[in-house]
Structure 1
Amino acid sequence: MAEQAHAPEHPAYPVGLRLSGRRVVVIGGGQVAQRRLPALIAAGADILLVSPSATPSVEAMAASGEIRWEQRRYADGDLSDAWYVLIATADTEANAEASAEAERTRTWCVRSDDAGAATAWTPATGRSEGVTVAVLTGRDPRRSAAVRDAIVEGLRDGTLAAPHHRTRTPGVALVGGGPGDPDLITVRGRRLLAEADVVIADRLGPRDLLDELPPHVEVIDAAKIPYGRYMAQEAINNALIEHAKAGKAVVRLKGGDPFVFGRGMEEAEALAQAGIPCTVVPGISSSISVPGAVGIPVTHRGVAHEFTVVSGHVAPDDDRSLVDWPALARLRGTLVVLMGVDKIGAIAQTLVANGRDPHTPVALIQEGTTAAERRVDANLATVAETVVAEDVRPPAVIVIGEVVAVGPRNRQ
């Protein structure tokens, strides 16, 4: 007997209970029941709560009909026909009596007051994308919760790769990768990237994320280097369609947001015409995130009540321009120019010629949110020569307006 007392405890056997329509008895209506009842309700259990009192949240569950509540102390026979029982009261005597009945009736029993006297333990559970994570670490619930949280967070943000196999539908996800910092991609975007078979990536996408991909993932460089080599949009569309039709999960990783001066809609239309399922995952646009990263708010109380984002890839006097530059010059808010480094001189000149103050502050943020980020300040009168003198190169976000002078950097 002495040897048995010191023998190592056998580990709990993990199992998932299917409780839909089956009777579950909960004894005690306090904080423990309040935490455990939602999962039992979600499992479809037929729940009987036995307790003289209950928290307001538990009372609400009873009032809404999610559980049945008998407002009294436990009595022998309450576990009749139960498949599972949770004992969670401060009444030690009632807990012992209910536990003894569970033992007699061979009903799996969880005890919040005495895990050693229970026949079942409740794991720390979490859910992500249809996956239920349940963690048991013996009698260390805090460690169980910590392990659970780490796994669920990894599944949600894609750092823990667990791709679908049986239920995955081939198709294309147009994923906005954000302004460049890999931490600024959305949780959904990162998860889809972790599940991809093929990634077609832009130069302005978060390149560091590509290093995290498993070796079997095919990465196709669709970089569109300004004024240099590029992959034609038609070729990108064809690559998306070809790999999706081959049964692959394809991610089109784009910088910023797919529909903000990207050609995401062209790609979505091509996929639709080919009958390929397409998911659009919005991304954080560099038009707001890059200024914010260097302390420039695009709006600020008492300074700017509006901001306008425009493309500067063609000059104001170019017949192809769709921007009403004279109208923009008359606005009092913030103007954010993307893809306009080499045209900023003409843009500034046009704004001033149409009424914008030449002393209006301008900030140029190159490689925003990345390790190479730098900010160069000027105003409309000096920005053309400043770009040349400081050798500002794309990609850079240009912010024009009084908000450039707002923030801690300008209050030192």
Structure 2
Amino acid sequence: MSVGLDFSGKRVLVVGGAHAARRVLARYLTSGATVYHLAGPGPHSPVSLVVPGVTAPVFPRSVGAWDALIAAVDLVAVVETTPHTDAVIAAACSRHRTWLSREIAASTSPVGSVTLVGGGPGLERLLTVGALAALNAADIVYYDRLGPTDRLEEWAPGAEHVDVGKAPGHHAVPQRDAERMMVASALAGRTVVRLKGGDPFVFGRGGEEVLACRAAGVPVTVISGVTSAIAVPAAAGIPVTHREVSHLFTVISGHAPITDSELTHLIGLGGTIVVLMGIGTLQQMAAGLARLGMRIDMPVAIIERGFAHDQRSTFGRLDTIGALAAHAGVRSPAVVVIGDVVSLAAHGDEAAADLLREAATLQA
């Protein structure tokens, strides 16, 4: 089934066992189709009209030759069958000009699986092909508040959607509970997707979730996502590295105060500093960097709500950014960038491309 196609009012015959065909049945039901299910091995098996919560036989066993069945529907979705039956269905579909789709069977293992999916910084077009494929195959999706969810019903049609997101200072579902929920769903044989903002392994606690799955004997895979540490500065026209300006960047979490020792090492490294979850500790960090030797005129940028329609950038220096942020009412989610690369975009987002082109020309 192609995500995004409108099957409203179409008659769809799904061929395959109920367990293997569960995702396909759910997708076509969600799309608005009238769905019939043939679970048996041949054309004389009962065909059932599938209604959420109800499975009512509509064809008696004596009715069901392939020609009659296929002539009565608009599309046949084959999930599992024998090679001979597949050939018979294909021939009948050709005769009656009925669409034929061969679908991937859902897992029939007693133990399901978990896939950690990086959803990027919230912009739909930054979802990877792998992320969309995993969502499309999911039985249940546990999602965070910062991941892209506006079209989750379309990306994971028929799946159960569970919000386990966290806000600063408020964890409606504690991390350990979210891990237990995912593991329990997988042990019940379900295909689980954990949809996270950014990348699961960049301050996303993805490592903890992988360990929880492994400890329970649940197969787990990770689909990397676009991290806001790079993408959000780019959305404001700031490259985290730039030839002859910065040859390295360091990503740190500002969730807790940074120690003087850590700040001293950051200054010694040079390059660009990218701070995630750092609004609450911004004042302490800026003051500490200045006190420990970073020059006070070092350019600093704060990009709020990256890629949202109301994305906002606040530019300043190390010695002024705290006051500017307080005056502007800067709030999370936001990414803080400290380094000379900020000056390439400090005249505003619209001028950033021109400044970068000019810098490249001068340094060529």
Find 1:356's aligned residue among 281, 294, 315: 294
TM-score relative to the length of structure 1: 0.57
Quick one: which of 212, 217, 220 aligns to 2:159? 217
Equivalent in the alignment of 1:388: 326
1:125 is matched with none
Is the Cα contact below 8 Å between 2:210 and 2:220 reproduced in 1? yes
Q: Which runs of 5+ in 1 are unaligned?
A: 1-150, 156-161
2 CA distance for matches of 1:214 and 1:194? 5
- Which residue, out of 336, 339, 344, partners 2:282? 344
Give the number of the structure whose alpha-carbon radius of gyration is greater: 1
SS at match of 2:170: coil
> Taking CA–CA contacts closer than 8 Å with sequence separation of 6 or more, which of the two structures ends up with the larger relative contact order?
2
Counterpart for residue 164 of structure 1:
105
- The CA RMSD measured in Å over matched residues stands at 2.2
Cα distance in 1 for partners of 2:120, 2:308 equals 11
Q: What is the rounded CA distance, in whole Å, between the counterparts of 1:163 and 1:208 in structure 2?
A: 25
5 Å-filtered alignment, 1:10-409, equals 164-165=105-106, 170-213=112-155, 216-317=158-259, 324-407=262-345, 409=351
Between the aligned partners of 2:156 and 2:166, the Cα distance in structure 1 is: 25
- Which residue does 1:69 correspond to in 2? none
Q: Which amino acid aligns with 2:275?
A: V
Deviations 1:111-150 (A, max 9, x none): xxxxxxxxxxxxxxxxxxxxxxxxxxxxxxxxxxxxxxxx
**What's the CA shift for 1:165?**
2.9
TM-score by length of 2: 0.65
Q: Which amino acid aligns with 1:377?
A: F
Judge conservation of contact 1:174–1:258 (CA < 8 Å) in 2: yes
Is the contact made by 1:173 and 1:278 (CA closer than 8 Å) also made in structure 2?
yes
SS in 2 for 1:266: helix
Of all paired residues, the percent bearing the same amino acid is 43
- Unaligned 5+ residue runs, structure 2? 1-100, 356-364
CA–CA distance in 2 between the matches of 1:344 and 1:372?
A: 22
Do the aligned partners of residues 166 and 210 (structure 1) sit closer, same or farther apart at CA in structure 2, a change above 3 Å counting? closer
Question: 1:347 and 1:182 mapped to 2: Cα distance?
Answer: 32
- C-alpha distance in 2, partners of 1:163/1:357? 58
Q: What amino acid is aligned across from residue 272 of structure 1 in structure 2?
A: R
1:163 positional shift: 5.2
Q: Which amino acid aligns with 2:343?
A: A
Structure 2 CA distance, aligned partners of 1:233 and 1:245? 18
Q: CA deviation at 1:389?
A: 0.9
Q: 1:327 to 1:345 in 2, by over 3 A?
A: same
Structure 1 residue aligned with 2:67 = none
CA contact (8 A) 2:137 2:156 kept: no
Matched residues in 1 for 2:269 and 2:178: separation?
Answer: 38
Secondary structure, aligned partner of 1:207: coil
Q: For residues 363 and 164 of structure 1, what CA distance do their matches in structure 2 show?
A: 48
Aligned to 2:46: none
Aligned-pair distance for 1:387?
Answer: 1.2
Structure 2 SS opposite 1:327: helix
Partner Cα distance (1:377, 1:253) in 2: 32
Asked if the contact 1:164–1:195 (Cα under 8 Å) also holds between the matched residues in 2, the reply is no
Q: 1:183: how far off?
A: 1.1
One-letter amino acid of the counterpart of residue 319, structure 2: A
